[in-house]
Amino acid sequence: MSPTRRTNGAATSKSSTRQAPSAPNKTSSSSRSFNLATLFSPAEILLLLTYPALLLLGSLFSLLDPSARNAPYSALSQSHPPESAPNYFALKRNVFNQWFVKVGWFWFTVAWLLWVGIGVGMVPKKAKSSSQGARMVEICDDDEEEKTGAGIVGGEGLVLTPQRVRSAVRWAVLTICWMLVTQWCFGPALIDRGFRLTGGACELIRDDAARAEMGEVKEFVTAATCKFAGGEWKGGHDISGHVFILVLGSAAVGMEVLGALVNRGSEGEDGEEGLGKWGWGVVMGVVGMSWWMLLMTAAYFHTWFEKFTGLFTAFLGIAIVYLLPRLSLGAREVLGIPGQ
């Protein structure tokens, strides 16, 4: 009997020895989780690659197209003079630039509101109507399921779900990024601060006496106030605000939509039709117009480096909101991931 026990003990020892190497697999899988391909879906990666591709294509077009290549370019205004602009989109005052790009965050917010209100991935996973028309909603979270008939915040069918709350938090963070970079950062925006730090300043050209009297306290510290006073904003590096806002806004809307479609499917459950044709038209129209205007910006405005820094700054904002939650559990609990 004792030899048998030894054999069984040996077998047990061998089996435990065979199971020991399983620990390194966890480490290797953990290291693989930082691979971009494992963090984003192929559709999301394709979306993000669209932006450097559009900037490269537009910049190459400006070099290859004879009308754009031979047209005079003003480094001061970062555009072609109006009288020699190659085409309508090379004019700063074209209607799309004035009413879409200049107020771009408004249009991106409209598209986001449509999506967060009735888009796929924002509705409860199961929704059924009783004979009286009341909805019983099942809100599914990571660890628990809760059925409730309350929580309607905007009329029948608009229910406050965890997906909507986290999407609102993500959009609030993106809006803060947009504001800090382009509007206000405890004084001048980051774009204006960067211009000053790289040697830029407001050079008053209308009045020599006014220029002489302009002291440190009175010095204009933003491009808008400088131009309003009749000066020239020159001498420093100007991050392309157009590239920044077009990339940040349209990429954020695209990440919200694609994330939900990948995780939830193209249509909601139990007959939920999602946005409908008109809603999809608005969302896709905003994203499509952003891509077109980004291509026009790349072709007719700013230098290569100014466009690159605009893209880089926008991608930093995207990384904070959409990459960080995939790397940090704490950030995921606050920001969430689209469609989850």
Q: Identify the helix (H) or strand (E) that includes residue 287.
A: helix 276-300
Rg (CA), the chain: 27
Burial class for 241, CB neighbours closer than 10 Å (0-12, 13-18, 19+): buried
Contact (CB, 8 A) for 278 and 208:
no
Q: How far is residue 320 CA from its own chain's centroid?
A: 9
Strand ranges (DSSP E) for 235-327? Answer: none
> Distance between CA atoms of 116 and 230, rounded to whole angstroms?
43
Distance, in Å, from the CA atom of 277 to the CA atom of 263, rounded to the nearest integer, reads: 21
Concatenated DSSP letters for 194-246? HHHHTT-EEEE-S-HHHHHH--TTT---SHHHHHHTTEEEESS----HHHHHH
Q: How many CB atoms lie within 10 A of CB 178?
A: 23
Distance CA 128, CA 39 (A): 34
Rounded Cα distance between 262 and 322, Å, is: 15
**Nearest of 284, 313, 321 to residue 171 by alpha carbon:** 321
Q: How far apart are CA 91 and CA 230, in angstroms?
A: 21
Residue 287 near residue 334, CB atoms below 8 Å: no
Q: Which of 105, 110, 111, 106 is nearest to 245 (CA)?
A: 105
Positions annotated as catalytic residues are 242, 302
| Two structure tokens written together for 19 | 């199971």
